[in-house]
Amino acid sequence: MPGSIKDRVAIAGMGCTRFGERWDASTNDLLVDAAYQAFEDAGIEPGDVQAAWVGTQDSGNTGMTLSVPLRLPYIPITRVENACATASDAFRNACYAVAAGIYDIVLAIGVDKFKDSGISGLSDGKTPGPGHSMMSGGMPPRSFARLATTYFDRYGLSYEEGKHMICRVSWKSHVNGARNRNAHFQREVPLETMINAPMIAWPLGLFDCCGVSDGSAAAIITTPEIARNLRKGKEPPVFVKALQIAMAPGDGNFNPKFDYTHVETTVRAASAAYKEAAITNPREQISMAEVHDCFSITEAVTMEDLGFSPRGKVRDDIESGFFDLDGKLPVQTDGGLKCFGHPVGASGIRMLYEMYLQLQGRADKLLNPSMPSRQVKNPKLGLTHNLGGAPAGCAIFVGIVGLEGA
């Protein structure tokens, strides 16, 4: 019988850089910025960190990715890579080390610095086998676009209806991103502009795709007791309720049973996370979520896979504003991958950072001047979700964090 992480570890401090095309910053600059924000927030010194996990997809090898810029002397550091779930998995491993009683105070940090490569989209740095080379340089948009093609077909949506639905997802994220001065994209965009934007991978257009960004985010994880002490007189610590990760067998493009309208791996990871956190009705019990909206359609089907919307019915919830900032279950309150940006190795901790700020009532700390509040009212539980890879084969993380006692 597997154990549960629920309330066994807490987050005592967090930090996150501005995301975007950071022509001004190196990988090291970003790591130092995020880590020192987290140290300051937790009220600790770098020397208090006993061990660290650094997640990066493409911007460094070995734990020295972190020990060199921070000059952390001779402590254990593990480099983690798990595609878009990289940062969340660094966080997960750090939590387990504390829960196991091996360390008291650890650092989990994620970073990626893509934009120095000068190419569009993500890199393509795989060993060329026969399989890899047989494909026509497949990039993520096409594999997620096929979810939309099949979702529209299965549920009888015309192109216009389906396109409106997915653009409404991105429209909401732009509204939220405009309220966040650390976001990559901070501008509201009219829905019509999104619907008529150039195609990237039909039926996904420019605004159906998230940004590829540079950035870093960090968390200080510790025992509940130390966390309460460190945050005395400040906002309360945030407790970890569930950490689940699941790998697909990757047979979606080879097995006709994969229906291309949902991602089974998300369903499996979510169900394990709900069990771990003792959640029976996620639509009612989860206060807010940051999910993997690499593409608008990904967020749409994820709402069904997480049990937020009934199967085949997410369009009703999207169009009615259920997931908007003022809706019943706000999603992507910081703008999401779509607008906050997506440095692959940092995104998972960035999502936790937003849940952390919202749970502590500090979301408006990063409010863009002149914009209305983006603070969710009295949140208790926040969910984060990453999808690394493609719908047909992916690494999924689902985590739940919340206030003590929630």
Partner 1 sequence: MAGIVSYGAYVPYYRLPRSVINEAWGRGGGRGEKAVGGFDEDSITMSVAAGMDCLQGTDPKTVDALFLATTSAPYKERQNSTIVATVLDLRRDARNADFGNCLRVGSSALFSALDAVKAGSLKSVLVTAADMRLGGAAGEDELAFGDGSAALLVGNNGVAVEIEGSYTLSDDLVDYWRSHEDEFVRHWEDRFGRDAGYMRIPVEAAKGVMAKLNIAQKDIAKLCLYGANTRAHQGLARRMGFDPAQVQDPMLDIVGDTGAAQPLMTLVAALEEAKAGDRILLVSYGNGSDAIVFKVTPEIEKIRDRRGIKRHLQIKRTLDNFGRYLRWRNLISLTPSNRPPGAPASPAAQWREHSSALALYGARCKKCGTPQLFMSASSTRAHVCLECLAKDEFEPYRFADKKGKVATFSHDYLTGGIDPPVTATVVDFEGGGRGEFDMVDREPGECKVGMEVEMTFRKMRYTYGTHTYFWKCKPVRD
Residues carrying an active site annotation: 84, 342
Query: Which is closer to partner 1, CB of 34 or CB of 148?
Result: 148
Question: Closest distance between partner 1 and the C-beta of residue 249, in Å?
Answer: 7
Contact 229, 42 (CB under 8 A): no
Contact 87, 125 (CB under 8 A): no
Query: Which is closer to partner 1, CB of 187 or CB of 257?
Result: 257
Contact 165, 175 (CB under 8 A): no
Q: Integer distance in angstroms from the first to the last C-alpha of the chain? A: 24
The sheet carrying 10-16 orders its strands as 77-80, 51-55, 105-112, 215-222, 10-16, 238-247, 393-402, 381-390, 288-290
Please count the CA atoms within 13 angstroms of the CA of 384 that sit on its side-chain side: 31
Rounded distance between C-alpha atoms, residue 286 and residue 265, angstroms: 20
Question: Closest distance between partner 1 and the C-beta of residue 132, in Å?
Answer: 4
Query: Which is closer to partner 1, CB of 251 or CB of 326?
Result: 251
Interface residue list for partner 1 (CB under 8 A): 118-121, 123-124, 126-139, 141-143, 145-150, 153, 198-204, 249-251, 253-256, 258, 260, 392
Angle between helical axes of 296-305 and 264-276 (0-180°, round to 10): 50
Q: Please, what is the Cα angle at 395 between 352 and 275, to 5 degrees?
A: 65
Query: What are the tokens at 3?
Result: 């154990």
Rounded distance between C-alpha atoms, residue 216 and residue 17, angstroms: 6
The Cα diameter of the chain in Å comes to 59
Query: Which is closer to partner 1, CB of 121 or CB of 310?
Result: 121
Question: Closest distance between partner 1 and the C-beta of residue 90, in Å?
Answer: 23
Amino acid (1-letter code) at residue 252: G
Query: Which is closer to partner 1, CB of 127 or CB of 370?
Result: 127
